[in-house]
């Protein structure tokens, strides 16, 4: 039982990071119907941005004010990552929006390769470590055989995901920007005829997705304490899988899918073998989609006539 509880905590922590990245996938796909395969590399880029600012702040002010430094780094990472993604949308995606369907997909794959190689050239191919952060933990079950604990950084990651999901759900459902996004999701041409600035709405959606990816990047850096130029591919694919599993186009579905992917990986690694944890996650995705093609919380797509 102690092993199960500990792995449950670990799975929720990992799944929270996947869920934050998955929201960016599901928001972009919901509005323009494009899978932004560069989103995983935007997440990786945000982790490097956070690393650079964290090392600069630590060098200038020392490592004593770790909490304030993390908050400052989080704000800076969100700003610069959003600026990057806004530029990517303007340069690589917007000119191809009216082209044939595969053109934006090819452009997204090309942008993913560009970002990965850009970071490799600028930062080098080696792992970039950070000093340990928030490693203190709270003992939940004092067992002689297997003590169960939750660290402060795990609490921060889980609480941050819950707060951001609630905030973005409210923004999409209750604000004028959210109404514009939902109008563009249903019919972009009709939304533009009714006065919605479609280009501006899509750009803001990319900025919002990048901000969440930046939060995930900072949380990833806090959790693992190391980042590599290739760290965007695998989490990006798993986050996209989470978005599809939960129902792409649904914000709660994206987070739910991320939590499920994280739990599947961690539980499979604990009780079976770590070698096939990714295989298990994708197999369960395939089984779910056979019986629920729209995902767990997704809505079936209605064909317009």
pTM: 0.89
Helices (H), the chain: 2-32, 39-61, 66-88, 102-123, 152-174, 176-186, 188-193, 198-224, 233-246, 251-271, 277-291
Q: What pLDDT, in 10s, does the model give residues 176-218?
A: 988 998 888 888 888 888 888 888 998 899 999 899 999 999 9
Q: What pLDDT, in 10s, does the model give residues 3-27?
A: 888 888 988 999 999 998 998 888 8
Q: What pLDDT, in 10s, does the model give residues 136-151?
A: 888 888 777 778 888 8
Q: What percent of the chain has pLDDT over 90?
A: 11
Token couple for 303 = 């064909």
Give the burial class of 264: count Cβ atoms within 10 A of its Cβ; 0-12 exposed, 13-18 middle, 19 or more buried: buried
Neighbours of 95 (CB within 10 A): 12
The total number of residues written for the chain in this structure: 305
pLDDT at position 303 over 70: no
- 3-class DSSP state for residue 150? strand
Q: Which whole-number Å values give the CA distances from 237 to 25, 27, 36, 241, in the listed order?
A: 10, 16, 11, 6
Half-sphere exposure for 157 (CA within 13 Å, toward CB): 32
Cα dihedral 30/36/37/39 (nearest 10): -100
Token couple for 49 = 């941005």
Predicted local confidence at residue 64, as pLDDT: 60
**Residue with more model confidence, 101 or 156:** 156
Q: What pLDDT, in 10s, does the model give residues 103-146?
A: 888 888 899 999 999 999 988 888 888 877 777 888 888 777 77
pLDDT at position 50 over 60: yes
Q: pLDDT grade, residue 301 (50/70/90)?
A: low
Domain at 1-291: CATH architecture: Orthogonal Bundle (1.10)
């Amino acid at each position: 039982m102690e092993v199960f509880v500990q792995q449950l905590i670990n799975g929720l922590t990992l799944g929270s990071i996947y869920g934050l990245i998955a929201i960016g996938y599901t928001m972009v796909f919901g509005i323009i119907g494009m899978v932004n395969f560069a989103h995983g590399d935007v997440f990786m880029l945000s982790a490097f941005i956070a690393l650079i600012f964290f090392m600069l702040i630590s060098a200038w002010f020392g490592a004593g004010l770790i909490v304030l430094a993390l908050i400052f780094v989080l704000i800076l990472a969100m700003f610069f990552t959003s600026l990057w993604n806004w530029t990517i949308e303007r340069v690589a995606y917007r000119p191809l929006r009216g082209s044939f369907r595969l053109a934006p997909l090819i452009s997204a794959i090309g942008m993913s390769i560009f970002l990965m190689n850009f970071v490799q050239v600028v930062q080098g191919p080696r792992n970039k470590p950070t000093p340990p952060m928030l490693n203190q933990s709270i003992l939940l079950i004092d067992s002689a055989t297997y003590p169960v604990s939750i660290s402060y950084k795990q609490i921060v990651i889980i609480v941050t995901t819950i707060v951001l999901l609630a905030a973005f759900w409210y923004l999409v459902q209750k604000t004028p920007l959210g109404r514009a996004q939902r109008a563009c999701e249903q019919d972009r041409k009709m939304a533009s005829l009714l006065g919605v600035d479609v280009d501006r709405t899509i750009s803001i959606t990319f900025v919002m997705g990048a901000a969440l990816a930046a939060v995930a990047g900072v949380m990833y850096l806090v959790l693992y304490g190391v980042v590599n130029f290739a760290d965007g591919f695998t989490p990006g694919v798993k986050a996209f899988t989470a978005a599809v599993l939960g129902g792409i186009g649904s914000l709660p579905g994206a987070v739910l899918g991320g939590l499920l992917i994280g739990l599947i990986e961690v539980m499979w690694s604990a009780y079976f073998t770590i070698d096939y944890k990714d295989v298990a996650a994708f197999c369960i995705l395939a089984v779910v989609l056979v019986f629920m093609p729209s995902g767990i919380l997704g809505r079936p797509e209605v064909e317009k006539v």
